[in-house]
Amino acid sequence: MKFDNPAKDNPIDRLKVIGQPHDRIDGPLKTTGTARYAYEWHDEMPNAAYGYVLGSAIAKGQISSIDLQAARNAPGVLTIVTADNAGRLGKGERNAAALLAGPDIAHYHQAIAVVVAETFEQARAAAELIEVQYHREQGAYNLAAEKPSITTPPESEPDKTTGDFASAFSASAVQLDATYTTPDQSHMAMEPHASMAAWDGGKLTVWTSNQMVDWCRTDLATTLKLPAENIRVISPYIGGGFGGKLFLRSDVLLAALGARAAKRPVKIALQRPFIPNNTTHRPATIQHIRIGTDKDGRIGAIAHESWSGNLPDGQPETAVQQTQLLYAGANRFTGLRLAKIDLPEGNAMRAPGEAPGMMALEIAIDEIAEKAGVDPVEFRILNDTQVDPANPERFFSRRQLIECLRTGAKQFGWRRRNAEPAQVRDGRWLVGTGVAAGFRNNLVMKSGARVHLDSQGKVTVETDMTDIGTGSYTIIAQTAAEMLGVPLEKVVVRLGDSSFPVSAGSGGQWGANSSTAGVYAACVKLRETVAAKLGFDPATAEFADEQIHAGDRSAQLKEAAADGTLTVEDSIEFGELDKKFQQSTFAAHFVEVGVDMATGETRVRRMLAVCAAGRILNPKTARSQVIGAMTMGVGAALMEELAIDQRLGYFVNHDLAAYEVPVHADIPEQEVIFLEDTDPVSSPMKAKGVGELGLCGVSAAIANAVYNATGVRVRDYPITLDKLLKGLPEVI
């Protein structure tokens, strides 16, 4: 199905199943421990051996020698795979560095060997016996130190200019010129990267934890130099990804290599310190923002430059993209700068680009609003735009930022806020409130599905879409039930298998909208097939109550499959509506904090998110996504930071004991409001994504609340107490 015109009325609009707060259909499996994750396919492969990955002890250089003899002779060892005996390997297009290194080393903990043994403990013990000698080279590990030498924009993201920023900024009545920093951060999903691999002749099956099944399959095929059709990837349940499992990683490759060498199935779970150092992380940024307004606070000039670092084949953190679209202003400049850094690969983490970009931009907006003497909510409303500022002919398909701000301000009690910082106390706590806009572009991807109807009237949907805890099983079942007029319990959903049609996968906030649109397309074809089978006109027939109706005539849906199961397959392919319309999602985040005036300890007291993100397919699962994102925003604002050993080039706090993330005690009352916001330009579902929008702007709202509470403006995340103490009252 080609989607190249705005959606008209369709069966989804009935909202009998779609749009309702159904419980997750996979919930009972997860709460009883019967949903099998990547490391748990014991029944399929009861004789699996265990692999243990050895990572590089240096960040840059070469392996001079590697002695495997003692490890090979250790109890239980079946085989050891290194770059010397793995055979010729390729490199997937989505990997910045080789997943099995040798002799050259690109980053710390880059995999250099996998030991396969009968038990995990034997594999781990043997790995400790491997003797490796290195030639260490000097590396670059400090973005700030590399920043002065970066002058050329990356080829993938040239500078973007509109009007004459320099002249307009110089002539502005009110000016802001400030620099902000965000640190390296880790996804830290509860489930580590884990895989099990088994060979059958020249064909490979991998059970893994991966958000994008087809990306994993095709990049694994490239790396192993195999035809993609010889590889099957299975990933039905994922225990958290946040972008860290978008791409092929070393656990998959090394499980496959180990299984081939050992001639039996092999399972691998990366040890926790490998998650930041061996997989990917959100890279640090240095962001320079300049804003100029007239005396009334209208933006006339806005510029945003961002510096980030990555390995030679890596990409920059696209932290300026929201600044190109969020606020009006005739004169604009945005640019990305990329340093070559010898740290582990920087790549997508929930809301890549906008999340760190808005951590800076939305503080800057508050700062310029204060300089202009305008309330920060009203300043954002004053500078709203209904068109792409760089291309005024291109309207937003839907843009409800003002309604988000107005609704949130009323619900949160914004008018009671004291605009003068450090004036509100609750015992020893300084209390403040803050606001930030939320923005995330709406992305769509081609997505396919296969739908079956059997003689009992049961509908089965198959697609390689994944569920990373977002509720994909449920909203896909809701889509099929709505389209075919059957109850939810009559729908079976099978996900995460490369033998199913290729879907959008879970990432970039495109998953829910795109994958359900793919199911919609397949269901349209099944409706046509059923109608033809039973002698109805598909254009006028209605599907409801497990029947097909037209005029005075009706028939049971299952009658169409009386002679055998009906099976259809289709995909949604998106046309060029995104060229005519700018498609984005919007939010307003409001936060109240308390800061201990003696210690600088910050406690978030209450949070509100108001979201405009198209049709909400399931308010219950969508709310879960938003409050989860809000929680991540608390972590990013107040505690999350990968500490770099500047001498040796690795992340020191590479486990859950030292890398701090929010816990239940850190999270207060959270409220989420979804605006009515169907968008026919987005898809036949008229939906958009929301799981990343819930993060964008949250950290800045917290930073702005801390400033309102204390009068201390922190521009370097995270906002830890040491950055506040110097500005707190000397006498309590």
Q: What is the DSSP letter of 23?
A: P
**351-380 CB burial, b ≥16 within 10 A, e <16:** bbbbbbbbbbbbbbbbbbbbebebbbbebb
Q: Give the residue ranges of DSSP H helices in 397-510.
A: 401-412, 472-484
β-pair partners for 453: 459, 566
> Cα separation of 643 and 118, whole Å?
36
DSSP 665: G
The Cα–Cα gap between 607 and 626 comes to 11
Q: How far apart are CA 530 and CA 527, in angstroms?
A: 5
Reduce the DSSP state of residue 234 to 3 states and report it: strand
The catalytic position among 191, 305, 345, 692 is 692
**Main-chain dihedrals φ then ψ at residue 85, nearest 5 degrees:** -120, 5
Kindly report the number of other CB atoms within 10 A of residue 32's CB atom. Answer: 8
Range list of β-strands (E), 194-284? 194-200, 203-208, 231-234, 266-269
Angle at 107 between CA 105 and CA 112, to 5 degrees: 50
Distance between CA atoms of residues 701 and 718, nearest Å? 13
Distance, CA of 526 to CA of 194 (rounded, Å): 37
Contact 131, 73 (CB under 8 A): no
Does residue 689 contact residue 509 with C-beta atoms inside 8 Å?
A: yes
> DSSP letter at 173?
S
Helix (H, G, I), strand (E, B) or coil at 590: strand
Which backbone phi and psi does 400 adopt, to 5 degrees? -120, 35
If we measure between CA atoms, which residue out of 355, 343, 367, 362 comes closest to residue 318?
355
462 is annotated as an active-site residue: no
| Catalytic residue positions, numbered | 692
